[in-house]
Structure 1
């Protein structure tokens, strides 16, 4: 029986789990920020994308934590959603919170793309 604890996992997978967890958190925080900002920040498409991004990040982290072989599928989906979320956040202009969210999404997308390969 294989035990999937942090010490036994590939370091790149541990990094990806951390990136997914951070991305999940910042997307939830940024949703609250955007709703408070109103206007284009609070548009349904943007809010929904951040919510889906938070969800797929949590699902990808969970799949890796469980040692599930399907993590390549969840990570592939996560990489794509994170890329789109980063683009949506960057489109909000020169806003520190949006830029932080975009950077976190891009970092997560990169590590998830490696895990999906």
Structure 2
């Protein structure tokens, strides 16, 4: 039986898990922020994209934690969703909360892209 605890995993995988878990949390927090702010921030497509991003980040982290061989497929999709989410958040203008989401989405996209390769 293969043991998949953190100390036995590739450090790059651990980093990607951390990024996915952080991105999941920050997307959820940013959804709350956007709904409170209203206007263009509360646009249904923007909210939906952040929600899907949170979901796929959680799924991606879970797949890596489980040591599943399909994690590369999920990570590839996660990278694409994170990139789109970063673009959507960046389009909201100069806003520290949105920038926080942009930064983690880009970081997560980069690490997921490496896992998918």
How does the TM-score come out when normalised to structure 1? 1.00
SS at match of 1:7: helix
Q: 1:49 corresponds to which residue? A: 49
List alignment gaps of at least 5 residues for structure 1: none
Alpha-carbon deviations, 1:58-96, whole Å to 9, x = none? 000000000000000000000000000000000000000
Task: Note the aligned Cα RMSD (angstroms).
Answer: 0.2
> 4+ residue stretches of structure 1 with deviation over 3 A?
none
Q: 2:103 corresponds to which residue? A: 103
2:30 and 2:9 map into 1 onto residues whose CA distance is 30
Instruction: Write out aligned runs for 1:8-19 (5 A).
Output: 8-19=8-19
Q: 2:34 corresponds to which residue? A: 34
Q: 1:25 corresponds to which residue? A: 25
The number of residue pairs the alignment matches comes to 117
Give the drift of 1:106: 0.1
How does the TM-score come out when normalised to structure 2? 1.00
